[in-house]
Amino acid sequence: MKAIKSKFEEMTNKLNKVRSGIEIVAVTKQVGTVTTQEAVDAGIRHIGENRPEGLKHKRSEVKGDVAWHYIGALQSRKVKEVIDSIDYLHSLDRMSLAKEIQKRASKRVKCFVQVNVSGEDSKSGFAPEQVRPFVESLKDFDKIEIVGLMTMAPNTDDENVLRATFKGLKTLQRQIAEKQWQHAPCTELSMGMSNDYLIAADEGATFVRVGTALVGSESEAQR
């Protein structure tokens, strides 16, 4: 626990030098329940999973005041397994998924719309020009609250490319927030991972998703 706690404190201090109030989501997909519990005991309050099985198991085993985030691609047929067990969904990337959430959820779910800012074929998400019409079309979906936007930056060390990606998402977020839609306050930005979270923070991230750099990786994670 000491190692995770020291890493968490170090990351928090670095982020606070950029801007206060940025939340760290510990991505625990590469570790088991013991390490996840250590993370929570170290003071981490946001846990992210990308598989229904991992989420279900850790949700039942890990104790503490935790907000659960689903950060991976979510198949429509898996919605019923996870939607009432999470506090945030970071990967709303199509209308069919929104319809399934509306059908299956018993409570309002905080959702991030996934945006493919960089335009890479390997990435999911809406093209930037599709985001505003999609968000507007959800006004009658009372089980969905669009709290913000999410993106994944290209896998590169080029800071200019990274900043351009994050700036693009920030611009979209502001445009939607200005609409003051009741169903879509869109005040949050989920962007930045282990290798680029400080750059993302500098460009406006309110949630950063950090995995191995914070909680490590286990070759045989217990599920």
Distance (Å, rounded) from C-alpha 61 to C-alpha 7? 23
Let me know if residue 221 belongs to a domain: no
Let me know if residue 127 belongs to a domain: yes
Percentage of the residues of the chain whose pLDDT score is greater than 90: 93
Specify which residues 126 forms β-bridges with: 115
Let me know if residue 22 belongs to a domain: yes
Count of domains for the chain: 1
Look up the domain containing 128 and give its range: 2-215
Let me know if residue 223 belongs to a domain: no
- DSSP letters spanning 112-147: EEEB-TT--TT--SB-HHHHHHHHHTTTT-TTEEEE
Let me know if residue 222 belongs to a domain: no
Let me know if residue 220 belongs to a domain: no
Asked whether the beta carbons of 47 and 68 are under 8 A apart, the reply is yes
Let me know if residue 102 belongs to a domain: yes
- Give backbone dihedrals phi and psi of 68, rounded to 5 degrees, phi first: -95, 130
Detail the DSSP E strand segments found in 75-114: 88-92, 109-114
- The whole-number pLDDT of residue 136 equals 98
Residue 71's Cα: distance from chain center in Å? 5
CATH number for the domain spanning 53: value is 3.20.20.10
Distance (Å, rounded) from C-alpha 154 to C-alpha 139? 31
Residue 63's Cα: distance from chain center in Å? 21
94-109 pLDDT, tens digit per residue, is: 999 999 999 999 999 9
Task: State the amino acid at position 157 in one-letter form.
Answer: D
pTM for the structure as a whole = 0.94
130-186 pLDDT, tens digit per residue, is: 999 999 999 999 999 999 999 999 999 999 999 999 999 999 999 999 999 999 999
